[in-house]
């Protein structure tokens, strides 16, 4: 799968250079911009690395006009993708470290986990994210995937300032029962922090990150409970997308298949 769009190319990582480039981009975004913690080897390499990387497929956005001579800096956007088949054959889903994914494991439907989504600051606000989503759509269509899920983050590890946003998600965007995964009990953080009538919707909307809002516009929903990730300095929610329930007018974000 490859999409050529002038300045950018979207494709699955071909080699270790592509994967290292995705890790370099993640370091720039998650560590340098957002304050995630990093190990000594990650600082030395300027790459955000974990034990799951070898088990995921990596969707990368290549900047063909990058001004840098370092090939790692050519990766301007990234997702990592894990099908249920790959998860069972390897290390399991990353999201299982935060949520009980039993409902997804038992589904008789194709599932993929999305993670580490990021776009470099120099290309944000343009076509980059849309191209990544188009690539994701081709991936999903080719594999007959019906359920997409993954943890998505609010910046900052204190849920209290996010009370309006988390409560809005709880009251208005909980996943259907058959998909409603739940944060692990030992780390469960309540999202229902105030009654629905007390939520300031304008404030809540401002607090919700753009990527989460985009998934919600596409018909996405969230699992029950949040997870505070102190290493990444985030409050995480589990986003879920049933492609058969997607809002029809937004389907073209996820694929070009005729009649989808």
Residue 210 belongs to a domain: yes
| Per-residue confidence in pLDDT tens, the chain, 260 aa | 889 888 999 999 999 999 999 999 999 999 999 899 999 999 999 999 999 999 999 999 999 988 888 999 999 999 999 999 999 999 999 999 999 999 999 999 999 999 999 999 888 877 888 899 899 989 998 999 999 999 999 999 999 999 999 999 999 999 999 999 999 998 899 999 999 999 999 999 999 998 899 889 888 999 999 999 998 899 999 999 988 766 444 455 555 544 44
Residue 5 belongs to a domain: no
Residue 19 belongs to a domain: no
Count up the domains in the chain and report the number: 1
Residue 72 belongs to a domain: no
Note the pTM of the prediction, 2 decimals.
0.89
Residue 69 belongs to a domain: no
CA–CA dist 118, 171 (Å, integer)? 28
Contact 9, 30 (CB under 8 A): no
Handedness of CA 107, 109, 110, 114 (dihedral sign): negative
Residue 157 belongs to a domain: yes
Token pair of 68, please?
A: 């840098």
* Domain of 146, in residue numbers: 78-253
Residue 36 belongs to a domain: no
Query: Which CATH number do you get for residue 201?
Result: 3.40.630
């Amino acid at each position: 799968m490859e999409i050529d769009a002038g300045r950018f190319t979207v494709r699955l990582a071909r080699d270790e250079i592509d994967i290292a480039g995705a890790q370099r981009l993640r370091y720039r975004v998650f560590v340098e911009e957002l304050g995630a913690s990093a190990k000594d080897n990650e600082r030395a390499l300027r790459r955000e690395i974990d034990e799951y990387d070898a088990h995921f497929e990596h969707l990368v956005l290549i900047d063909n006009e990058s001004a840098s001579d370092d090939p790692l800096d050519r990766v301007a956007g990234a997702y990592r993708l894990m099908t249920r088949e790959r998860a069972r054959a390897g290390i399991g889903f990353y999201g299982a470290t935060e949520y009980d994914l039993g409902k997804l494991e038992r589904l008789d439907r194709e599932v993929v986990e999305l993670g580490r989504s990021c776009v470099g600051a120099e290309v944000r606000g343009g076509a980059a994210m849309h191209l990544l989503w188009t690539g994701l759509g081709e991936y999903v269509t080719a594999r007959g995937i019906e359920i997409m899920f993954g943890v998505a983050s609010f910046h900052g590890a204190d849920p209290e300032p996010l009370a309006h946003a988390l409560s809005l998600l709880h009251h208005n965007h909980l996943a259907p029962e058959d998909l409603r995964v739940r944060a692990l009990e030992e780390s469960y953080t309540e999202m229902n922090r105030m009654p629905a009538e007390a939520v300031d919707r304008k404030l809540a909307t401002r607090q919700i990150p753009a990527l989460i809002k985009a998934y919600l516009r596409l018909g996405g929903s969230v699992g029950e409970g949040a997870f505070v990730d102190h290493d990444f300095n985030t409050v995480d929610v589990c986003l879920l997308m049933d492609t058969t329930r997607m809002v029809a007018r937004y389907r073209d974000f996820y694929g070009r298949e005729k009649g989808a």
